[in-house]
Amino acid sequence: MAQNRIKPEWAPNEDNEAFTSFVLPKISDDESSLNKSKGNVKSIEYTLNQYIDGIKQNNRVILSKSITLVESNSPTHFDKAQEIVNAILPFTGNSIRIGITGSPGVGKSTFIESFGTMLTELGHRVAVLAIDPSSIRSRGSILGDKTRMEKLSRNPNAFIRPSSSSGTLGGVARKTRETMLLCEAAGYDIILIETVGVGQSEVTVKSMVDVFLVMLLPNSGDELQGIKKGIIELADILVVNKAEEENIPKALLTEALYKNAVHLLQHSIPNFIPPVLSVSALNSLGLDLVWQKITDFIKFTKEIQYFEHNRHKQLTEWFNALLNELIMRNILNIPKNQLILKNSENEILSNMISPVSAANKVFNEIFTS
Ligand SMILES: Nc1nc2c(ncn2[C@@H]2O[C@H](COP(=O)(O)OP(=O)(O)OP(=O)(O)O)[C@@H](O)[C@H]2O)c(=O)[nH]1
Ligand SMILES: [Mg+2]
Question: Is any atom of ligand 1 closer than 6 Å to the C-beta of 250?
Answer: no
Counting atoms of ligand 1 from 1, which one is nearest the CA of 132? 23
DSSP letter assigned to residue 58: T
Strand ranges of the sheet holding 211-216, from the earlier edge strand across to the other edge: 158-161, 126-131, 190-196, 96-102, 211-216, 237-240, 276-278
pLDDT at 156: 96
Q: How far is the CA of 261 from the centre of ligand 2 (A)?
A: 26
Residues of the chain with CATH 3.40.50.300: 92-303
Substitution site in 106, 110, 111 for ligand 1 pocket (most atoms within 8 Å of beta carbon): 110
**For 44-102, how does the pLDDT look when each residue is reduced to its tens digit (9 = 90+)?**
789 999 999 999 999 999 999 999 999 888 888 999 999 999 999 999 999 999 999 99
Within 10 Å of residue 341's Cβ, how many Cβ atoms?
16
Query: Cα dihedral angle (179, 181, 184, 186), rounded to 10 degrees?
Result: -70
Q: Which helix (H) or strand (E) holds 111?
A: helix 108-121
pLDDT at 345: 95
With contact defined as beta carbons under 8 Å apart, do 216 and 146 qualify? no
Question: Is any atom of ligand 1 closer than 6 Å to the C-beta of 156?
Answer: no
pLDDT at 73: 83
- Distance, in Å, from the CA atom of 369 to the CA atom of 363, rounded to the nearest integer, reads 9
Q: How far is the CA of 115 from the centre of ligand 2 (A)?
A: 14
**263: Cα within 13 Å, side-chain hemisphere:** 5
Q: What are the residue ranges in the chain where pLDDT is below 70? A: 1-43, 133-147, 163-167, 220-228, 369
Question: Is any atom of ligand 1 closer than 6 Å to the C-beta of 281?
Answer: yes
- Distance, in Å, from the CA atom of 153 to the CA atom of 5, rounded to the nearest integer, reads 32
- Distance, in Å, from the CA atom of 248 to the CA atom of 239, rounded to the nearest integer, reads 13
pLDDT at 230: 80
Q: How far is the CA of 105 from the centre of ligand 2 (A)?
A: 7
- Distance, in Å, from the CA atom of 50 to the CA atom of 52, rounded to the nearest integer, reads 5
Q: Whose CA is nearest to atom 6 of ligand 1?
A: 107
With contact defined as beta carbons under 8 Å apart, do 165 and 139 qualify? yes
* pTM of the predicted model as reported, rounded to 2 decimal places: 0.84
- Distance, in Å, from the CA atom of 107 to the CA atom of 79, rounded to the nearest integer, reads 38
- Distance, in Å, from the CA atom of 64 to the CA atom of 119, rounded to the nearest integer, reads 22
Q: How far is the CA of 198 from the centre of ligand 2 (A)?
A: 13
**According to CATH, what is the number of the domain 92-303?**
3.40.50.300
pLDDT at 29: 43
